[in-house]
Amino acid sequence: MEFANLQPLIARTRLHLGVILAVVAAVLIWGVLRQTFFGFSVRVVDASLKAAVYAGIKSDIYHGLCLRLID
C-alpha cells in the first residue's frame, strides 16, 4: 500500500502542509457554525429540541444532519 508523503515545511521537523490545512479547516468550520443561520440552527437544536420546534426551525433535518456528521 502506498501513502502520500508531504514534504516538511521546516527542515528537520515533522511539520507539513497537513497541519496548516487542518487549522484552516477548523477556522472555516468555526466560522460557519458561529456566523450563519445553519450554525445558529444547529446550536438551538443541540440546546433544546422543543425550543427549536417552537422557533420554527425544522429540527428533524438539523438533528439528523448533525448525527450524520458525527458518524
Q: pLDDT tens, 53-69?
A: 898 988 888 878 877 76
Task: Name the nearest CA neighbour of 6 among 25, 22, 19.
Answer: 19
Q: Is the pLDDT of residue 70 over 80?
A: no
Q: Is the pLDDT of residue 25 over 90?
A: yes
The burial of 64, by beta-carbon neighbours within 10 Å (0-12 exposed, 13-18 middle, 19 or more buried), is given as exposed
